[in-house]
Amino acid sequence: MGTRLGEFRFREGRLVGFKLGLVIYPPSVGLERGFKMVFRNIAGVKIGELGSDSNVAKVSELNFELADFGCGGFSFVLDDLPGFSIPYRTQVDIFPYFDLVAWFTGFIQKTPESGAVRPYTFEGFGFYDQLSWVFVTKDYSAGQDISAVVKDIISTIVAPNTQIAYNEAKVEATGYTLLGDISFDHITADEAVQTLAEAAQNFEFGVDSGREFYFRAVSSAVVTDLWQGKHFQTLEVQQDPSQIRNKLHVKVGEIQVGGTNFIDPVSDPDSITAYGLREDVISAPEVLGIDDATRWAQYRLNQVKDPIIQIRIMALLLDQTLTKLEARGMARVTAETAAEYIQALKRVNYHITPAGITADLELGQIAVPLELQIVSLLRAIQEEQRLGDQRTKQLF
């Protein structure tokens, strides 16, 4: 499904070619700025490798995305087919600059139709996508750190039924103990963990280039400094107040006194004074305790009480550093006007061309395309259905 793919943009740049077979590509003079791609079957066995020093099965386009949830969308176009098959669910590892560690790992979801003529386009997504393949139907009692619930979901439901690997060390303790019970009823694993991350506050989760799930605190460290005119040329900065909401009415899974599912609303007086009253209703059908739900709602409020700031940087040249830039932490961006912005890195879209490797960055809040707005509406409908199911369970 790839619901967090967003507006992944494919570029028209022409790329260098690839070599067939299981050849190893050690960096050599003139090739440090190249790359290689390793292909593995579902069992993780290597079936082929393509690289930037090949003469056959050249690639005319290669793009991949790193987001705050890990590896996102990717695509590549071959001028000809290689000497090995690349079917659905083939794992693809991408090594820019012949790095020893893959920058990106995903799996093929769309292949050329049988009988298609060249060029041949392959598209896919990171293993985060598989979190939406499995459902969580389980109750968890109060008195445990949220991370314990996350560990149980990933180790007993996700890892045994997907290609996502469980590494206990990558699930960080939150320091917040559930004050009430929480009940998941046929909810996808990504939605279940999203609820837990929001309850923990300032936590993010995803699947990295090693196919390992992570659940960690959001980093506020400035990881890179970027100057317009030196590292990039094009900068777009937008501020959008249209999505501000400063009073949220909260529905929870446990029926309250009087037969309602509403608890006390949360609001932000400063935002109301500055932008006027802007109300909305949010639902947390899995959260049964009032205290946990209030904490979750307050976190949601903090995300929407101020205008959205969107920053886009186009064609950031990486060949000077040959260093991977991830969608984690903060970036300090200095414009030609000397204006300075410090915003969270949300998405890095990599593009490989004969001129080198460039990246487009999105900071602050990423734009939500129409298809994801529709997904959000569908999710709201599903939340209302689950809320009704919780009411039925309690009444009968």
Does a structural domain hold residue 192? Answer: yes
Boundary residue ending a domain (72, 95, 126): 126
pLDDT value at residue 355: 63
Phi, psi of 280 (to 5 degrees): -160, 165
Residue 183: which of 137, 250, 237 has the closest Cα? 137
Boundary residue ending a domain (218, 252, 276): 218
The answer, yes or no, to whether residue 136 has pLDDT greater than 90, is yes
The answer, yes or no, to whether residue 395 has pLDDT greater than 80, is no
In the structure encoding, which two tokens stand for residue 72, read together? Answer: 């996102």
The answer, yes or no, to whether residue 68 has pLDDT greater than 50, is yes
pLDDT value at residue 58: 81
Asked whether the beta carbons of 341 and 260 are under 8 A apart, the reply is: no
CA end-to-end distance (rounded Å), the chain = 35
Does a structural domain hold residue 95? Answer: yes
Query: Which of the four pLDDT bands, split at 50, 70 and 90, describes residue 1?
Result: very low
**Quick one: 102 and 192 in the same domain?**
no
**Quick one: 211 and 227 in the same domain?**
no
* Radius of gyration from C-alpha coordinates of the chain: 23
Percentage of residues in the chain having pLDDT higher than 70:
80
Please, what is the average pLDDT of the chain?
82
**Quick one: 39 and 91 in the same domain?**
yes
Domain count across the chain: 3
Residue 65: which of 54, 57, 76 has the closest Cα? 76
Residue 51: which of 111, 104, 107, 95 has the closest Cα? 95
Does a structural domain hold residue 139? Answer: yes
Query: Which of the four pLDDT bands, split at 50, 70 and 90, describes residue 263?
Result: confident
pLDDT value at residue 28: 37
Task: Between 308 and 259, name the one with better pLDDT.
Answer: 308
Angle between helices 290-304 and 189-200 (to 10 degrees): 90
Q: What angle do CA 296, 385, 302 make, to 5 degrees?
A: 20
The answer, yes or no, to whether residue 63 has pLDDT greater than 60, is yes
Query: Which of the four pLDDT bands, split at 50, 70 and 90, describes residue 25?
Result: very low
- For the chain, the 3-state helix, strand and coil shares in percent, each to the nearest 5, are 20, 40, 40
pTM for the model stands at 0.78
**Quick one: 91 and 177 in the same domain?**
no
The answer, yes or no, to whether residue 354 has pLDDT greater than 90, is no
Domain of 337 in residue numbering reads as 222-240+307-364
Please tell me whether the peptide bond between 96 and the residue prior to it is cis, using omega within 30 degrees of 0: no
Task: Between 114 and 70, name the one with better pLDDT.
Answer: 70
